[in-house]
Amino acid sequence: MRSAPMTSSPFHNHDYLRLFTAQVTGLFGTGLTTVALGLLAYELAGAAAAAVLGTALTIKMLVYVTVAPIVGAYADRFPRRPFLVSLHLIRATVVLALPFIDQIWQIYVLIAVLQTASAAYTPTYQAVIPDILPDEREYTRALSATQLAATMETLLSPMLAAAALTVMSFHWLFAGTAIGFAISAALVITARIPNVTAATEGSFRERITVGMRIFAATPRLRGLLGLNLVVAAAGSVVMINTVNYVRDTLGGSQSGVAALLAANGFGTMLVAVSLPRVLDRLGARPVMLTGAATLLAGLGSAIALSFADAGGWRWAAAIAVWATVGMGTAAILTPTGQVLRRSSRPADRPALFAAQFSLSHLAWLLTYPITGWLTTVAGFTTTWVVLAVLAAGGIAVAVRMWPRHDPEVMTHLHEVGTIDPARLIDAVRVDDRFYRHTHAYVIDAEHPRWPTQQRLAESTAA
Ligand SMILES: [Zn+2]
């Protein structure tokens, strides 16, 4: 029997710890930049800030779904450490230039460069980790830690921004962010990163095809696709509409913007912290569907609020709506890693996490431009109604695709001759065509399709 499972924490590895800290610092830098960018857009565009933000964030998502896979496919050809360091330094430089912007198109150019560097960083970082952490369990934990860090960033950076904005102007946020990227670069310089020696298993492009195939064939993951859309629909209100809603409708200031974002972050944190125990008891599906219903309720309340006339109570209501959206988001994002782990063999996990990365960004790529442009031409009410319809569609997909009864272990059939007999030692021969096999079921080369009860019943009847 093997002992000491506690040593599977990846944080005992100093190189990993440095890289992880650099990754988190970079994430927070990007998050703070997003808050500051919203305020900058308002300074330049006023009432049209939503369109500017919608365009800037759409550029970001376009870059993410195009650049990240391409760089990922070639990530093992660059000397990795200099590459990662220079990506941090590029981001620091771009962020330092942002306060000097006085034209809207300059925002778009700098965002494109900033996000290209970010999009190139993620797959390279992901490719480095298995070389630093050859142990399978440590690596799986590292994947989860990265996902959790991304979640924590979305909720904590608005709060940091809110705190910072009470003592300084938003231009200083950009300076703080640049310092963060410089620290990240220094951490990467001091970490030992092996260059690729052996051939890695498949390019990022191949790995992403594997991930997409698993997504398409696994019912609970098809459900997750719908949930990605719900998160993006409600999240777009927070990301794009907060500035205009606070400044134009509520008549608030910079710190008012940060306060609503902080309420959103607080809701996220509240649920993320209390969720693990509930998850153990209920499982992922009811928790995530409740989260989706919460987001739809949040959008509904936002629509109701958009009809309200002036009144001090609108602040309290807006804070409640933004916090509700944060809570619903956390209820969907927190269990996502667990759902992905459950749906893949260890070897396919990087591919599946990469596929989720791309597919969730596709959802944002749909909702950001809709939110940005529709708000400017048609106002909050129409935009939020459209987003609520999208969210309702996402919920319908999730409920339909992800069956309520979703057991880990499933009985299924293997046709004689389609699978290595050595894999079927524990299988039962039912007739001259089929073996019946029972084990924890995930999509892989030997199990390309989800088992249906119908096929099983036919074989038993035959
Ligand atoms: Zn099997």
- Band of residue 198 on the pLDDT scale cut at 50, 70, 90: very low
Q: Is the pLDDT of residue 171 over 70?
A: yes
- 247-262 pLDDT, tens digit per residue, is 999 988 888 888 898 8
CA 436 / ligand 1 centre spacing (Å): 8
Q: Is the pLDDT of residue 3 over 50?
A: no
Q: Is the pLDDT of residue 213 over 50?
A: yes
Q: How far apart are CA 449 and CA 320, in angstroms?
A: 44
Q: What is the average pLDDT across 389-417?
A: 94
Residue 54: exposure state from Cβ atoms within 10 A (0-12, 13-18, ≥19): buried
- 316-341 pLDDT, tens digit per residue, is 999 999 999 999 998 998 888 889 88
CA 438 / ligand 1 centre spacing (Å): 6
Q: What local confidence, expressed as pLDDT, does residue 332 receive?
A: 93
Q: What local confidence, expressed as pLDDT, does residue 4 receive?
A: 41
Q: What is the average pLDDT across 174-178?
A: 86
- 347-365 pLDDT, tens digit per residue, is 787 778 778 888 888 999 9
Q: Is the pLDDT of residue 462 over 60?
A: no
Q: What local confidence, expressed as pLDDT, does residue 279 receive?
A: 83
CA 215 / ligand 1 centre spacing (Å): 18
CA 450 / ligand 1 centre spacing (Å): 11
CA 411 / ligand 1 centre spacing (Å): 8
Average pLDDT, the chain: 85
Q: Is the pLDDT of residue 445 over 90?
A: no
218, 440 Cβ separation under 8 angstroms:
no
Q: What region, left, alpha or beta, does residue 347 occupy, with left being phi > 0 and alpha being psi -120 to 50 degrees?
A: alpha
CA 445 / ligand 1 centre spacing (Å): 10
CA 441 / ligand 1 centre spacing (Å): 7
Sheet holding 434-440, edge to edge: 409-415, 434-440, 428-429
Q: What is the pTM of this model?
A: 0.83
Q: How far apart are CA 387 and CA 56, in angstroms?
A: 19
Q: What local confidence, expressed as pLDDT, does residue 245 receive?
A: 94
Lowest-confidence range among 160-164, 250-254, 257-261, 375-379? 160-164
CA diameter of the chain:
77
Write down the residue that tokens 């330049």 correspond to: 44
Q: What local confidence, expressed as pLDDT, does residue 142 receive?
A: 79
CA 344 / ligand 1 centre spacing (Å): 13
Residues 6+ apart with CB under 8 A from 136: 346
Q: How far apart are CA 384 and CA 107, in angstroms?
A: 26
CA 209 / ligand 1 centre spacing (Å): 22
CA 141 / ligand 1 centre spacing (Å): 26
Q: Is the pLDDT of residue 461 over 50?
A: yes
Residue 377: exposure state from Cβ atoms within 10 A (0-12, 13-18, ≥19): exposed
395, 293 Cβ separation under 8 angstroms:
yes
CA 410 / ligand 1 centre spacing (Å): 9
Q: How far apart are CA 263 and CA 285, in angstroms?
A: 26
Q: What percent of the chain has pLDDT over 70?
A: 89
CA 412 / ligand 1 centre spacing (Å): 6
Tokens of 412: 């299924």
Q: What local confidence, expressed as pLDDT, does residue 199 receive?
A: 46
Residue 257, amino acid: V
CA 221 / ligand 1 centre spacing (Å): 19
CA 224 / ligand 1 centre spacing (Å): 24
- Band of residue 146 on the pLDDT scale cut at 50, 70, 90: confident
Tokens of 3: 């002992």
Q: How far apart are CA 421 and CA 427, in angstroms?
A: 9
109, 97 Cβ separation under 8 angstroms:
no
Residues 6+ apart with CB under 8 A from 335: 275, 279, 284, 287, 288
Q: Is the pLDDT of residue 75 over 50?
A: yes
